[in-house]
Amino acid sequence: NAGVTQTPKFRILKIGQSMTLQCTQDMNHNYMYWYRQDPGMGLKLIYYSVGAGITDKGEVPNGYNVSRSTTEDFPLRLELAAPSQTSVYFCASRALGDYEQYFGPGTRLTVT
């Protein structure tokens, strides 16, 4: 049982490039979330999903897109990377009826 896994761990992008951050959970959780954490700050919600095929915007969705074709996977897409997207990105999942969100180890992204 690996929990929530994220790839890659680190990535450096040039301005204007695009990439997909991968997130997979093996706990059969309905709910999945993407957050970003800037240095010295708490986490801000980017997008979330309540199940396969259903996604919705969080607090800071601009510049990002998501999809949820399976229960296990919830990739986050950056289309035109900007320096403001330099951050650490965390994926989390939660079981229906449970309070706890389980977080992955994060992806550290730098846009230069």
Partner 1 sequence: TQLLEQSPQFLSIQEGENLTVYCNSSSVFSSLQWYRQEPGEGPVLLVTVVTGGEVKKLKRLTFQFGDARKDSSLHITAAQPGDTGLYLCAGESGSARQLTFGSGTQLTVLP
Q: Which is nearer to partner 1, 48 or 64 (CB)?
A: 48
Q: Which is nearer to partner 1, 14 or 40 (CB)?
A: 40
Q: What is the DSSP string of 10-38?
A: EEEE-TT--EEEEEEESS--SEEEEEEE-
Q: What are the CA-CA distances from residue 30 to residues 62, 71, 76, 82, 94 (Å)?
A: 24, 7, 17, 31, 7
CB of 19 to partner 1, least distance (A): 20
Q: Exposure string (b/e) for 70-104, b if CB count within 10 Å is 16 or more?
A: ebbebbbebeebeeebbbbbbbbbbeeeeeebebb
CB of 6 to partner 1, least distance (A): 9
Q: Which residues bind partner 1 (CB under 8 A)?
A: 4, 31, 33, 35, 40-45, 48, 50, 56, 58-59, 90, 92, 94, 99-101, 103-106
Q: Which is nearer to partner 1, 26 or 79 (CB)?
A: 26
CB of 78 to partner 1, least distance (A): 20
Q: Which is nearer to partner 1, 19 or 50 (CB)?
A: 50
